[in-house]
């Protein structure tokens, strides 16, 4: 058994900016932080709802009792591999039951999962392993055509300090002998996990979330979205993404004893079939996926009458699309405007149609502080657009180990500068009307142009490159790379060659590869001589 909590001291992790003591005390007093860890959350539901179905993927179905047992077994296996309290562990798994077992196995040990997306490749995984000084990288042998084992082999060679763990698939068993004793366990105030930010720079930003703050947002999200033990959520998007994980997501379902169906792919054919098969009540979707559902012929053949509400967010949902949800899918719509850094806004059950279709909701907490300011930092009146800054009981005070970046991303009084331009109405509802950060939002997937530019600049035949988002009906934005070749007379490298370069030489995630390449001899510049990205993005 692990040591009693009173013998534990708070985990100290260099590079984490904690909430100020007095603020933390206030969040506890007000009942936001209740002293619960992720392991406590699961244990409570295992006891309250032992026989209800917790998770289903294409291979396995586990009740909460079974999930609880598997998590103990997996925790033992991970401990045997030397993983313990405070260790960072990069988790790179698709939407399968193993993901849930590993995540909670790590929570059980007080280790911190770093939630990579299944779409990430060696370039991103290497950065997460190095940036967190990871103890281990956990993945599977392969998924479809992708060999994750190859990534594991490369990581093992490049960063020998990282132990690589290949998770046995489905019911196959782990191969180890008796587990070792555990090195302590988590306290509620400890950092529980590191989420990823879409970021705006050449290196990804890591977001440290504590058990206390993350689970406050999860429990409130579950309450706002009115889910309970009869709810069945379809996880169509990557389960490791903050939205699918916590708004209210996988964790919200676990909080109330509901069931999570893990979709192997997000296509409407697969998803709508799963909706019928498992009488799905809720799903979290990005706008392009919602559009794909609405426009899919599968919608007319699959019985979707079980749907109660769709949670849609990650990128701006056009009002014309929002309006189609109730009549065409027979369920309600909830808009979700959130960020892995913290703040999450929802439209509410009972809101009038106009609010639900045209706003991105209002914050979870009465103590979410919202500031909407002009370029000089002066607050603007309600109804006028401005930069959104926020502070509150589940919004971080700084990225992990990024002092320089934190100076630009947080105000001196601890507000997170979101980079979103919003309009707040007199009731506190927000509308996202633009963005001031250098980031492309490709249908909910966030891409930092600087990252793509760096990879392209590694190509010997490229003189310079500028990556921008350009408007797209389906995705909201597409990625376009303006490229100046070294040899202005040459016809190569071609777009196809550059795509292949990014995929096979640089090994970046497919969603970051530009949709379009434009070959130019110079970039437009602003009056001070900077590249004029605004004019390129038109």
3-state secondary structure of 324: helix
Q: Find which of ligand AMP, ligand DBH, none residue 288 binds, CB within 5 to 8 Å per kind.
A: none
445: nearest Cα among 319, 333, 209, 286: 286
> Between 66 and 242, whose beta carbon lies closer to ligand AMP?
242
CB of 382 to ligand AMP, least distance (A): 19
Q: Find which of ligand DBH, ligand AMP, none residue 466 binds, CB within 5 to 8 Å per kind.
A: none
Q: Find which of ligand DBH, ligand AMP, none residue 231 binds, CB within 5 to 8 Å per kind.
A: none
SS (H, E, C) 474-536: CCEEEEEEEEEECCCCCCCCCHHHHHHHHHHHCCCCHHHCCCEEEECCCCCECCCCCECHHHH
Selected binder of ligand AMP within 70, 126, 446, 459 (CB under 6 A) = 446
Q: Is 296 exposed, middle or buried (0-12, 13-18, 19+ CB in 10 A)?
A: middle
**Structural contact between residues 326 and 299, judged by C-beta atoms closer than 8 angstroms:** no
**Structural contact between residues 519 and 465, judged by C-beta atoms closer than 8 angstroms:** no
Distance CA 16, CA 36 (A): 20
Other C-beta atoms lying within 10 Å of the C-beta of residue 517? 19
Tokens coding 317: 């949902």
> Between 194 and 344, whose beta carbon lies closer to ligand DBH?
344
Q: How are beta strands 362-363 and 369-373 bridged, if at all?
A: unpaired
> Between 71 and 312, whose beta carbon lies closer to ligand AMP?
312
Binding mask 151-190 for ligand AMP (x = CB under 6 A): ----------------------------------------
Selected binder of ligand AMP within 155, 206, 340, 498 (CB under 6 A) = 340
Q: Could you say which residues in the range 411-430 bind ligand AMP, by CB under 6 A?
A: 418, 420
Tokens coding 53: 């179905």
Q: Find which of ligand AMP, ligand DBH, none residue 122 binds, CB within 5 to 8 Å per kind.
A: none
User: Binding residues for ligand DBH, per CB under 6 A?
Assistant: 242-243, 246-247, 313-314, 336, 338-340, 344, 444
For every residue of 394-456, DSSP letters joined together read: TS-SS-TT-HHHHHHHB-TTS-EEEEEEEEE-TTS-EEEEEE-SS-EEETTEEE-HHHHHHHH
> Between 62 and 333, whose beta carbon lies closer to ligand DBH?
333
Regarding 316 and contact with ligand AMP (CB under 6 A), the answer is yes
> Between 110 and 338, whose beta carbon lies closer to ligand AMP?
338
Binding mask 221-250 for ligand AMP (x = CB under 6 A): ---------------------x--------
CB of 341 to ligand DBH, least distance (A): 8
Residue whose entry in the numeric block shows the structure tokens 């296509």: 267
> Between 292 and 498, whose beta carbon lies closer to ligand AMP?
292
Strand partners, 322: none
- Three-point CA angle 286, 290, 292, nearest 5°: 120
Q: Find which of ligand DBH, ligand AMP, none residue 420 binds, CB within 5 to 8 Å per kind.
A: ligand AMP
Selected binder of ligand AMP within 315, 329, 370, 372 (CB under 6 A) = 315
113: nearest Cα among 123, 105, 121: 105
Regarding 360 and contact with ligand AMP (CB under 6 A), the answer is yes
> Between 74 and 116, whose beta carbon lies closer to ligand AMP?
116
CB of 207 to ligand AMP, least distance (A): 8
Give contact residues for ligand AMP (rule: CB under 6 A): 197-198, 242, 313-316, 335-341, 360, 418, 420, 432, 435, 441, 446
């Amino acid at each position: 058994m692990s040591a009693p909590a009173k013998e534990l001291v708070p985990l100290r992790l260099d590079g984490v900016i904690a909430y100020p003591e007095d603020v933390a005390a206030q969040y506890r007093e007000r009942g936001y932080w209740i002293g619960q860890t992720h392991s406590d959350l699961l244990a409570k539901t295992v006891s309250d709802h032992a026989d209800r179905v917790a998770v289903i993927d294409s291979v396995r179905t586990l009740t909460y009792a079974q999930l609880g047992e598997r998590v103990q077994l997996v925790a033992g296996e991970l401990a045997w591999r030397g993983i313990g309290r405070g260790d960072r562990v990069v988790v790179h798994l698709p939407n399968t039951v193993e993901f849930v077992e590993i995540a909670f196995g790590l929570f059980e040990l007080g280790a911190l999962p770093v939630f990579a997306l299944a779409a990430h490749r060696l370039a991103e995984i290497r950065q997460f392993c190095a940036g967190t000084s990871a103890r281990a990288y956990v993945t599977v042998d392969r998924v479809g055509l992708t060999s994750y084992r190859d990534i594991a082999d490369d990581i093992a060679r490049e960063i020998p300090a990282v132990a690589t763990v290949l998770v046995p698939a489905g019911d196959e068993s782990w191969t180890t002998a008796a587990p070792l004793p555990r090195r302590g366990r988590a306290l509620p105030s400890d950092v529980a996990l590191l989420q990823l930010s879409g970021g705006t720079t050449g290196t990804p930003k890591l977001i440290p979330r504590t058990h206390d703050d993350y689970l406050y947002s999860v429990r409130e999200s579950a309450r706002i979205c009115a889910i309970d033990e009869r709810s069945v959520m379809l996880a169509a998007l990557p389960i490791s993404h903050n939205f699918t994980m916590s708004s209210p997501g996988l964790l919200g379902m676990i909080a109330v004893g509901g069931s999570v169906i893990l979709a192997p792919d997000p296509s409407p054919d697969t998803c709508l079939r799963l909706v019928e098969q498992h009488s799905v009540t809720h799903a979290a979707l990005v706008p392009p996926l919602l559009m794909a559902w609405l426009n899919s012929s599968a919608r007319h053949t699959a019985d979707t009458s079980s749907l109660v509400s769709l949670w849609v967010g990650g990128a701006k949902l056009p009002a014309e699309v929002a309006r189609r949800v109730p009549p065409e899918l027979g369920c309600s719509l909830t808009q979700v405007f959130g960020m892995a850094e913290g703040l999450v806004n929802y439209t509410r059950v009972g809101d009038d149609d106009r609010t639900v279709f045209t706003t991105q909701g209002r914050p979870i907490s009465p103590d979410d502080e919202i500031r909407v300011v002009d370029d000089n930092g002066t607050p603007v009146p309600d109804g006028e657009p401005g930069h959104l800054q926020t502070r509150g009981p589940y919004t971080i005070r700084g990225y992990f180990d990024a002092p320089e970046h934190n100076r630009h991303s947080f105000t001196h009084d601890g507000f997170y500068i979101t980079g979103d331009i919003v309009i707040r109405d007199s009731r506190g509802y927000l509308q996202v009307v633009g963005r001031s950060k250098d980031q492309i939002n490709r249908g909910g997937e966030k891409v930092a142009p600087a990252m793509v530019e760096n990879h392209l600049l590694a190509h010997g035949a490229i003189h310079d490159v500028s990556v921008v988002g350009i408007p797209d009906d389906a995705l909201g934005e597409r990625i376009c790379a303006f490229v100046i070749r070294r040899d202005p007379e040459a016809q190569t490298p071609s777009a196809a060659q550059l795509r292949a370069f990014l995929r096979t030489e640089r090994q970046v995630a497919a969603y970051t590869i530009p949709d379009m390449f434009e070959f130019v001899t110079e970039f437009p510049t602003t009056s001070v001589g900077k590249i004029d990205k605004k004019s390129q993005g038109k």
